[in-house]
Chains A and B, each alone.
Chain A
Amino acid sequence: MALPIMKNYINGEWVESNGSQIGNIKNPATAEQIAQVVFGTADDVEKAVQAAQKAFVQWRETPPLTRARYLFRIKDALEENFEDIARTLTMEQGKIIDEARAEIRRMIENVEHATGVTTLMCGYTLEDIAKGIDCTGHRQPMGVFAGVAPYNFPGMVPWWFLPYAIVTGNTYVLKPSEQVPMTQTRIFECLDEVGLPDGVVNMVHGSKDVVNAILDHRDIQGVSFVGSTPTARYIYKRCGETGKRVQALGGAKNIVGIMPDAKLNEALPSLVTSFFGCSGQRCLAGSILAPVGDAADLVVDRFVATAKNIKVGDGLSDFTGMGPMASSAHLDRVLGYIEKGIKEGATLVLDGRDCKVEGYPEGYFVGPTIFDNVTPEMTIAKEEIFGPVVCVVRCKTLDEVIKLINTRDFANAACLYTDSGTAARKFKYKVLPSMVGINIGIAAPMSFFPFGGAGNSMFGDIKGHGQEIFHFFTDTKVVIERWF
Chain B
Amino acid sequence: MPIINFGGLLNFAEAMEKQDMEFYLSIASNPEMSDLSDLFQGFAKDGKKNIAHIQRTRRENITEMILEGITGFFRKPFVLEVKDDKEMGRAQILKYVDKMEARAIAYYTEGAEKIKALPEVSMALKVAGKKRMAHTQKLSGS
Q: Which residue numbers of A lie inside 8 Å of B, CB to CB?
A: 79, 82-83, 96-99, 101-103, 105-106, 269-270, 272-273, 277-278, 311, 318-319, 321, 440, 442, 444, 446
Contact = CB atoms under 8 A, between A and B. Distances in A.
B5 A318 contact: yes
A101 B69 contact: no
Contacts of B60: 105
Interface in B1-15: 1-8, 11-12
Contacts of A83: 55, 59
Given A273-B67, A277-B64, A321-B69, A101 B5 contact: no
Interface centre among B4, B12, B55, B60 (most CB of A within 10 A): B4
A444 B62 CA distance: 14
A321 B59 contact: no
B63 interface: yes
A-side interface mostly? helix
B65 A440 contact: yes
A319 B70 CA distance: 11
Contacts of A97: 7
A318 B8 contact: yes
B7 A277 contact: no
A359 to B, nearest CB: 15
A209 B6 CA distance: 41
B4 A321 contact: yes
Contact of A321 (B1, B5, B65): B5
29 contacts: A83-B55, A97-B7, A98-B6, A98-B7, A98-B62, A98-B67, A99-B67, A101-B7, A101-B58, A101-B59, A101-B62, A102-B63, A102-B67, A105-B60, A106-B63, A269-B69, A270-B65, A272-B69, A273-B67, A278-B64, A311-B4, A318-B3, A318-B5, A318-B7, A318-B8, A318-B11, A319-B4, A319-B8, A444-B65
B68 A269 contact: yes
Contacts of A99: 64, 67
A78 B65 CA distance: 21
Nearest to B117: A269
Nearest to A306: B69
B62 A102 contact: yes
